[in-house]
Amino acid sequence: MIYFLRNNIITISLLGRTALVCGSSKGIGKASAFELAKLDANIILLARSESELKSLVKELPGQGKHSFLAIDISEREKLKISVQQLLSTYNKIHILVNNTGGPKGGLITEATEDEFLQTFQNHVLVSSLLANLLLSGMKEDNYGRIINIISTSVKIPLANLGVSNTIRGAMASWAKTLSNEVARFGITVNNILPGYTDTERLDVLMSNAAQKQNKTKEQIRAEWEKSVPIGRFARPEEIASAVAFLASPSASYINGINLPVDGGRTGSL
Ligand SMILES: NC(=O)c1ccc[n+]([C@@H]2O[C@H](COP(=O)([O-])OP(=O)(O)OC[C@H]3O[C@@H](n4cnc5c(N)ncnc54)[C@H](OP(=O)(O)O)[C@@H]3O)[C@@H](O)[C@H]2O)c1
């Protein structure tokens, strides 16, 4: 295991490892990129907004070499070519964080076929494409970490998130299947299930709920926070520290799990 001393504290090191962090221009993805960078991994940020990524890449800490890929993941052929090009620069990418914007809300009876298909493509097919592109390098180095940001709806479906609940289940099942196939090569595959996390997405969800229920956003926030045993939303960094741990050598025997990081909100064992 690789540890090093920083400010007299023993820290895990990801020096020499490269991480592709999807959906990293904001929210949970951005926080994950920062946590991994603090452990000295090389970071490749990925999202659509080039201007955002251009400035973020300069702010990333650590000793790693950082870069970014501005791309819309729904363009899978373009994504495949871009990641193949990245591999010629970095040679190997050892850590993959599969993450993107959350699916649109709504009742399952009102969801269109397009909503199901697009969500399946952007979540399951993109994750599978990226994993398949990176697996051979991970195998060669006998070190790989695939971490998927999903949702607690994997354990208990959430009301008014019909398409999301359906596709989250598919993602979790894909990940578990993959974890069985690649574990013997030093590659682990795990899912993080965030609870309420203070990001732009949550802000939009609160605004929508406030409008629908004729309440203020502050009222919605108070109600939602009350449903969490810890009594508050997560900071994105609190989700990201779980990502960083799972990416590290210390998590080598954790494989195929769904880890809720939700302040205890999910009511299942
Ligand atoms: N926040 C929560 O409370 C919470 C709770 C449970 C689960 N989750 C799930 O966790 C994931 C991340 O949530 P978040 O709150 O961090 O979301 P967010 O703040 O909306 O961030 C989403 C990220 O994905 C990128 N992205 C979106 N569509 C993309 C596309 N087509 N191609 C490339 N990049 C794309 C966005 O950047 P660009 O716009 O620049 O592309 C952004 O960096 C989502 O699946 C969400 O549903 C969140």
User: Within this chain, do residues 51 and 100 fall inside the same structural domain, yes or no?
Assistant: yes
Cβ atoms of 179 and 256 closer than 8 Å? yes
CA-CA distance, 242 to 260, in Å (whole number)?
10
Q: Please, are residues 149 and 99 in contact by the beta-carbon 8 Å criterion?
A: yes
d(CA 115, CA 222): 31
- List, for residues 55-93, the tens digit of each pLDDT value: 999 999 999 999 999 999 999 999 999 999 999 988 899
Do 61 and 160 share a domain, yes or no? yes
Q: Measured between alpha carbons, how far is 262 from 259 in angstroms, rounded to an integer?
A: 9
CA distance 38 to 244: 9
pLDDT value, residue 12 = 86
Q: Whose CA is nearest to atom 37 of ligand 1?
A: 47
Q: Are residues 59 and 88 in the same domain?
A: yes
For ligand 1, is residue 234 a contact (CB within 6 Å)? no
- Please state the atom number of ligand 1 nearest to the C-alpha of residue 26: 43
Same domain, 26 and 53: yes
CA-based R_g, the chain, Å: 18
The number of the ligand 1 atom at minimal distance from the alpha carbon of 52 is: 40
Give yes or no for residue 196 CB within 6 A of ligand 1.
Answer: yes
- Could you tell me if residue 257 is inside a domain? yes
* SS3 state at 152: helix
Interhelix angle for 236-247 vs 27-38, to 10°? 50
Nearest CA to ligand 1 atom 28: 101
Q: Look at residue 1 in the predicted model and tell me its pLDDT.
A: 46
Locate the ligand 1 atom nearest the alpha carbon of residue 234 and give its number: 3
176 burial level (CB within 10 Å; 0-12, 13-18, 19+): middle
- The CATH number linked to 148 is 3.40.50.720
Residues 64 and 167 in one domain: yes
Domain holding 205, by residue range, is: 198-233
Residue 140 CA, ligand 1 centroid: distance in Å: 31
For the chain, helix (H) and strand (E) counts, in that order, are 9, 9
Ligand 1 centre to CA of 84 (Å) is: 23
CA pseudo-torsion sign 31, 33, 36, 37: negative
User: For residue 198, which phi and psi values (nearest 5 degrees)?
Assistant: -65, 85
Q: Quick one: 60 and 191 in the same domain? A: yes
Q: What is the DSSP letter of 234?
A: B
- ∠ CA 257-41-121, rounded to 5°: 50
Q: Which of 175, 131, 145, 156 lies closest to 245, judged by CA?
A: 145
210-235 per-position pLDDT tens digit: 999 999 999 999 999 999 999 999 99
Positions of the chain with pLDDT under 70? 1-11
Q: How far apart are CA 11 and CA 261, in angstroms?
A: 22
Q: Which two tokens stand for residue 212?
A: 């629908």
Total domains present in the chain: 2
Same domain (yes/no): 135, 22: yes
User: Does residue 263 line the site of ligand 1, with CB under 6 A?
Assistant: no
Same domain for 163 and 143, yes or no, is: yes
E strand residue ranges, 107-186: 144-149
Question: Do residues 83 and 43 both lie within one domain?
Answer: yes
Closest residue to atom 19 of ligand 1, CA basis: 27
27 C-alpha to ligand 1 centroid (Å)? 7
